[in-house]
Amino acid sequence: MIKNKIWIAATLMALGLFSIVLYTYSFIRFHSGFDLGFLIFGVAPFAYSLYEFTAIKKKRELELEKQVMKLAMEHEHLLTVVEISLYTDLSVKEAERILEGLRKKELVRIKVADNGTWVYEFEPMLTREQKMTAERI
């Protein structure tokens, strides 16, 4: 499904760029005006493709964050960047980017090990019993 969306968005972007170039050339060469065709065949497909690419990127980012948080649960809520890149398909730079995003959302705290390695401590998940005994506010 995602590959189809990427293919459609890329095709629309190509159509939009081609139409924008064609209409701009026509405007410069023949002094024709920009009309409704410019918007329909140029601007609209290009804008929609940018929207789709952004949505796909956000969805991928959320999936990666979820994958890292599941991995943290399996490793007692403590991970390093190297462990993430070892147990997932993420590169070290991608793992650092994901962890930085989680840190900004205050889901992760950074600790420093004796050898200087950064250890990322994730917020522990509550058990069902802890959720049931939580106080109302």
pLDDT digits over 15-42, tens only? 999 999 998 898 888 887 778 888 899 9
**Average pLDDT of the residues in 93-105:** 96
- Amino acid 32 reads S
Look up the pTM and report it: 0.76
pLDDT, greater one: 126 or 4? 4
Return the H-helix or E-strand segment holding 79.
strand 78-79
- Contacts of 86-90 with CB under 8 Å at 24 or more apart are 90/64
Distance (Å, rounded) from C-alpha 51 to C-alpha 9? 9
Give the residue carrying structure tokens 């140029």: 42
Residue 4: strand, helix, or coil: helix
- Among the ranges given (3-17, 30-44, 59-73, 103-117), the one the predictor scored with the smallest mean pLDDT: 30-44
Q: Residue 78's beta-bridge partner residues?
A: 121
- Contacts of 127-133 with CB under 8 Å at 24 or more apart are none
**Average pLDDT of the residues in 86-111:** 95
Tell me the average pLDDT of the chain: 92
| 77 has a pLDDT exceeding 90 | yes
Of 57, 56, 58, 43, nearest in space to 13 by CA: 43
User: Of all residues in the chain, what percent carry a pLDDT higher than 90?
Assistant: 74
Residue 29: strand, helix, or coil: helix
| 128 has a pLDDT exceeding 90 | no
| 7 has a pLDDT exceeding 80 | yes
Residues 87, 54, 88: CA angle, nearest 5 degrees: 5
- The whole-number pLDDT of residue 3 equals 87
